[in-house]
Amino acid sequence: MSDANVRIPEEAKDRLAAIAAAEGLSLRAYLARLAETLLTPGERAERAERARAALKEWTGYAPTAEQERDLDGELDRRMAQAAGR
């Protein structure tokens, strides 16, 4: 395993170290676990496409791109409303 140096603000490093410690991990182990669990944009797009295909197969529902945008906007509006914004 090779090491890498990453330059981030001290406050960010301290916050990550505190989160790692609270989970019983070193900062190095926490960042490695984080890297394994986060998805790349390509992986997210692939999962979204699989979800759309499953939705269509299970229900016959296949929203258009415009419908998806409208639904995303409605979800954003409701999330903002729930957050009190």
10-48 residue pLDDT tens: 999 999 999 999 999 999 999 999 999 999 999 999 999
Q: Identify the pLDDT of residue 39.
A: 96
Q: pLDDT higher for 36 or 3?
A: 36
The whole-angstrom separation of Cα 82 and Cα 12 is 28
Residue 4's pLDDT band, with cuts at 50, 70 and 90, is confident
Residue 2's pLDDT band, with cuts at 50, 70 and 90, is confident
Q: Identify the pLDDT of residue 36.
A: 94
Q: Identify the pLDDT of residue 3.
A: 85
Structure tokens at 78: 């409701």
Q: What is the rounded end-to-end Cα distance, in angstroms, of the chain?
A: 45
